[in-house]
Amino acid sequence: MRIVLTVVALLLSTIGFSQGQSYEKPDTLNSTQIMLDEVSINAPIRLGALQQWSGSFSLIDSLKMELGNSYQISNQLNSLPGVLMQQGTFNTSRITIRGIGSRTPYNSNRIKVYWGDIPLTDGDGVSSIEDIGFNDIHSIMVLKGPSSALYGAGLGGVILINPWTIQNNGYKHSLQSEVGSYGTFSNLISTSLKGKKGHTWLNVNHLQTDGYRDNSEYKRYNITLKGKYQLGKSYLHYLYNYRHLYGQIPSSLDSTDFYKQPTKAADSWAAIEGYEKSNRHILNVGLSSMLSPSVSHTINIFGITTSLDELRPFNRLDESKRSLGLRDKLTYQSKLFNIDGGIEAMLENNALSLFGVKEHSKGERLSENKIQRNYFNVFGLINYLPNSRLSLQTGFNLNLTNYSNTNYFTTQKTTHHYPLVFSPRAGASYQIFNHSNIYAALGHGFSPPSVEEAQMPDGSFNPDIKPEEGYHIDVGYRFVSKNNNTSAEITTYWMKMNNLLVTKRESEEVFYGVNAGATSHQGIEARLNHRVFINANTLTFNASYTQSLNTFDDFTDDGVNYQNNHLPGIPEYSLFIQTIFTTRSNTLQVNYRHNGMQYLNDSNSKRYKAFGVLNAKLNHTVKWNALKANIYLGANNLLNQHYASMLLINAPSFGNKPARYYYPGLPFNMYGGLSICI
């Protein structure tokens, strides 16, 4: 904590010194306004100003995407209050929003993710964003809590990734190459052409690394073709993406290895050189039309195919997944009302086989299943504006989810239909002063069990299992200064979750879920963004803070009562501080992230201490006619802190071996690169 106070004092003293010499530049086009403009164009919250949204949201604009290396989105997400992305390796991560999703061991669950109009959350509730290239991300909006209505009712919230950049007429070509520690190379190539009637983009990116740990080599290739074209009063848009990924899996470590040999891979995974190899195709075609001056219609059809080959110590997984979906939305706008309503549906077929482990080839087939998942959502949101200061919103989401599983070994077919779930939402925002708003929101959310959680070891579905569900309350205050140089927000929230899903393990590879209780999540989030001008230079200060209390209200597992215990895997608090000093041709960015203590298991008998990580980046810009070049050098973990970048809560222990809770974070590491834009 002493390090935290020292860093805070240094950064605040810098701000205080700068304010004494600052002056206001009139009519300055600033990054805050750019951010609001670019997000408003494609954002789901289509309000005259995001300032009036009756709920908590966070934004990552195109400028913030450049404030780290060119491939780790966790740097940006961890700057947001209430959002935590733990990343054990490039292909193993977990995103939680306000503590929701912390019980999922190896991926992100209980949230929804959209890339444009494409849901990246599969039928099993799993979301992945770490494999999208940075040149395919223009901005990100995070809506916290089950309060979006338009995008389902995920308990944690929604992450909306905007793939569409803004460009004047003409062409634009860019190349970025980066090299980093541990044999890391990143290349991003983008070209775009915009005419009077349309805009086309072609993006390619490549990432590879030898890895800090044994058995952690990683390679990824992405190519994206996308476009927007005007057809009379309508706009046609499309997006195609192909991604190839190969990543070795070092897995987590026990306490002894984590502290003494953090570079090693887990023994069982190293012995068989475990890996995952995956190919994915995404296609989305949409049409937006103005039916009248006040009514518009947007329809999107999307398809995703994924193949996966994963070698694990206990078996080898061969999986093929295909999904087809539709999203249809009708919008009405007037002076008093903004109304959105529509449907979203997806059908997913998943063929998976498990094989025994055999060197250089597949072993004996152990199982073969075909799983079909489908969901159907009806959604609506009404925004009523009785006057210029007051905004009242109400919305709903209606969900129907079904599963079926065919076991080709036993010729057994099982089906499961979850009850219809109605999730209402209500909120209000009031402008108390010209640049200040207070808001409050109440919403219901749910998350259905995954197939693995709903399915018993014998292959049958558990008829008694229920979706997790909860109610959520947000109350907050939001401020933006007249010149947009200062903005601040403070939010307090409370959530009550019921039907908590708990994983029961019979072995390392056999597990299932049961409903085992209820939890409470409450906390406070705050952020401050301030910018001052020093002659021709700019100094920006950003800070965010989250304090939360997450406890079991009613939870009994294997006869043990955990009531009033803390949920593991959620830091007591999170602090992020960043300063950016910009001159005509140079930018220096320094940030510090500190996470508080967190528990490792439900009994709270083990805990992981607080830690902090300090990062910096220096950028130099050269312009010559239409050519713009950036040369940059960055360093992460400047203080060489030994820490865990991801924790596996309630880690199982088999064969009298110690539990493996820890994924080691990178020690001090550097990167540097060059980007050229014409």
Average pLDDT over residues 299-324: 95
pLDDT (tens digit, 9 = 90+) per residue, 618-676?
Answer: 999 999 988 999 999 999 999 999 999 999 999 988 778 899 999 999 999 999 999 99
pLDDT over 90 percentage in the chain: 71
- Do 191 and 224 contact (CB within 8 A), yes or no? no
Of 129-143, 155-169, 232-246, least confident by mean pLDDT is 155-169
CATH number at residue 257: 2.40.170.20
Predicted model pTM: 0.92
pLDDT bin (cut points 50, 70, 90) of residue 33 is very low
pLDDT bin (cut points 50, 70, 90) of residue 49 is low
Identify the CA nearest to 163 among candidates 205, 225, 71. Answer: 225
Query: Rounded to whole angstroms, what are the CA distances from 30 to 61, 519, 529, 630?
Result: 12, 43, 13, 20
User: What is the pLDDT, as a whole number, of residue 15?
Assistant: 37
Q: Is 460's pLDDT higher than 90?
A: no
User: What is the pLDDT, as a whole number, of residue 500?
Assistant: 86
User: What is the pLDDT, as a whole number, of residue 161?
Assistant: 95
pLDDT bin (cut points 50, 70, 90) of residue 507 is low
Q: Which of 192-196, 228-232, 557-561, 589-593 has the highest mean pLDDT?
A: 589-593
**Residue with more model confidence, 156 or 10:** 156
Average pLDDT over residues 465-471: 90
User: What is the pLDDT, as a whole number, of residue 30?
Assistant: 37
User: What is the pLDDT, as a whole number, of residue 360?
Assistant: 66
Identity of the residue numbered 663? Y
- Do 417 and 448 contact (CB within 8 A), yes or no? no
User: What is the pLDDT, as a whole number, of residue 29?
Assistant: 31
pLDDT bin (cut points 50, 70, 90) of residue 157 is very high
User: What is the pLDDT, as a whole number, of residue 412?
Assistant: 85
Q: Which of 40-54, 64-78, 508-522, 628-642 has the highest mean pLDDT?
A: 628-642
Average pLDDT over residues 255-283: 97
Average pLDDT over residues 8-25: 38
Round the average pLDDT of the chain to a whole number and report it. 89
Q: Is 36's pLDDT higher than 70?
A: no
User: What is the pLDDT, as a whole number, of residue 189?
Assistant: 98
Average pLDDT over residues 437-449: 92
Q: Rounded to 5 degrees, what angle do the CA atoms 577, 579, 580 make?
A: 145
Q: Which of 379-393, 440-454, 507-521 has the highest mean pLDDT?
A: 379-393
Average pLDDT over residues 71-85: 96
Of 29-33, 429-433, 591-595, least confident by mean pLDDT is 29-33
Which SS3 state, helix, strand or coil, does residue 376 take?
strand
Q: Is 25's pLDDT higher than 90?
A: no
Residues contacting 182, CB < 8 A, separation 6+ = 209, 210, 211, 212, 666, 669
User: What is the pLDDT, as a whole number, of residue 40?
Assistant: 35
Q: Is 597's pLDDT higher than 90?
A: yes
User: What is the pLDDT, as a whole number, of residue 652?
Assistant: 84
Average pLDDT over residues 547-552: 96
- Do 120 and 145 contact (CB within 8 A), yes or no? no
pLDDT (tens digit, 9 = 90+) per residue, 104-135?
Answer: 888 898 899 999 999 999 888 889 999 999 99
User: What is the pLDDT, as a whole number, of residue 508?
Assistant: 60
Q: Rounded to 5 degrees, what angle do the CA atoms 45, 145, 83 make?
A: 95
pLDDT bin (cut points 50, 70, 90) of residue 27 is very low
Write a three-state SS string for 269-325. Answer: HHHHCCEEEEEEEEEEEEEEEEEECCEEEEEEEEEEEEEEEEECCCCEEEEEEEEEE
Question: What is the C-alpha separation between 304 and 493, in angstroms, rounded?
Answer: 35
Average pLDDT over residues 504-515: 71
| Partners of 473 in the β-ladder | 442, 494
Question: 254: domain range?
Answer: 2-677
Give the DSSP letter string of 231-273. Answer: ETTEEEEEEEEEEEEEEE----B-HHHHHH-TTSPPHHHHHHT
Side-chain-facing half-sphere of 606: CA atoms under 13 Å: 16
Q: How many domains does the chain fold into? A: 1
Q: Is 5's pLDDT higher than 80?
A: no
Average pLDDT over residues 582-592: 97
Q: What is the DSSP letter of 17?
A: H
pLDDT (tens digit, 9 = 90+) per residue, 472-496?
Answer: 999 999 999 999 899 999 999 999 9
